[in-house]
Amino acid sequence: MTDIHDLEIGAPGPFLPPYENVLRNAKTIDSLGYDSMAFPDHFAGFVPESIWTGDITPLSFFQKSPHTYYEISTIMAACAAATENVRLVSAVTEPIRRHPILLAQTFLTLDHISNGRAIMGIGAGEIENIEPYGLRYSGQVGKLREALQIIRKVWETPEPFDFDGKFWKMKDAVMSLRPVDPDRPPPIWIAAHGPKMIKITAEFGDGWIPTLLPPQQYGERLKEISNHRKKLDKTGHFTSALWNWCILDEDPSACQKIKQNPIAKAFALLYPSNEWKRLGFEHPFGDFNALTDYIPMRFTREETLQAMDQVPEAVLDEFYMAGDSEAIIKKLEEYARVGLNHMIVWNVTGMFDLERVRSSYKVLKEVLAYIKG
């Protein structure tokens, strides 16, 4: 159980053009007292370009494509150099597009640029960022496990080493770059949901960073991680984090209306079919998990619009953490009671209603002020 006033609060780092806004926004996040900035590692976005049109979302007039992202390590480095206190988290990278040795070197470099504020958030990867680019999306959990073994090995010793794995084989591999603090390499937070990934988190992680888990499920899986850590005699500091999508407004009824926005429904299609079934509904895409099944570029406008029309209110209510400051604080208290200690709040209100941007950030400021006491 975490005291609500000890809860750490993060925000998405600036990861979109234009670049002239990036450093200004990073400095603002730092000055407001956020504990972290989290950066997605994407080639492709979460919705099909076929529905990224003016009649569906006004964002299409400001950003021509939903598949627009700065490269993660470059933008993290720029933001690290422009800030002083906020930690910088990859949320999350993976070892399919990025070789484990490159990941080890990248985060050691970020460790130096940020003076110890970089955190490697890592997972098994999403098919939308892998398969369309000619890479194999298979054995991804096994690849992650081997990658973590390699990264830990690199960070533990500057001496040449061998590695004989199923996915990577190395002979006389070496990297002499050391962390800023030789006794404290960058923390590793693992994005885990399923049983195998939960065990990997317990074995290799300094933290856990899933997304879209209601408080009860979050608490149950955190207990599983804690039990595995006890069996492995893991006693070091462990951060239980979560990345949540939030719709915020001073008028709670406005939040319910905003959830009905077409793009809000399009994002809710990312909620896996087993969670739809738990709520009593069938997912429009059948047996579906966005991590392993969703390549938005291959969905036509017609089939996406039809699927969006089938998103029920119950799914929207669970997908989005929504409300005024009182409602958000109450929800954060629920998470704190089950052990959450670091919440990354992605305020997506402005993506669905540009007129509510100011109000949403007023709510967020009130929440942050309350948490910080």
pTM for this one?
0.97
- Cβ burial of 234 (10 Å; 0-12, 13-18, 19+) is middle
Q: What is the pLDDT of residues 102-124, one digit of tens each?
A: 999 999 999 999 999 999 999 99
Which run of H or E residues covers position 78?
A: helix 72-82
CA nearest 116: which of 199, 72, 175, 182? 182
Provide the sign of the torsion angle of the four alpha carbons 292, 296, 301, 305, taken in this order: positive
Rounded to an integer, what distance in angstroms lies between the CA atom of residue 54 and that of residue 17?
19
Name beta bridge partners: 240.
208
**Chain-centre distance of CA 369, in angstroms?**
23
pLDDT attached to residue 24: 96
CATH number for the domain spanning 357: value is: 3.20.20.30
Rounded to an integer, what distance in angstroms lies between the CA atom of residue 348 and that of residue 204?
32
CB 258 within 8 A of CB 247: yes
Which amino acid would we find at residue 132? P
CA nearest 102: which of 115, 114, 90? 90
pLDDT under 50: residue ranges of the chain: none
CB 229 within 8 A of CB 324: no
Count of domains forming the chain: 1
Q: What is the pLDDT of residues 124-183, one digit of tens each?
A: 999 999 999 999 999 999 999 999 999 999 999 999 999 999 999 999 999 999 999 999
Residue 309 domain boundaries: 4-371
CA nearest 151: which of 109, 103, 114, 110? 103
Q: What is the pLDDT of residues 338-357, one digit of tens each?
A: 999 999 999 999 999 999 99
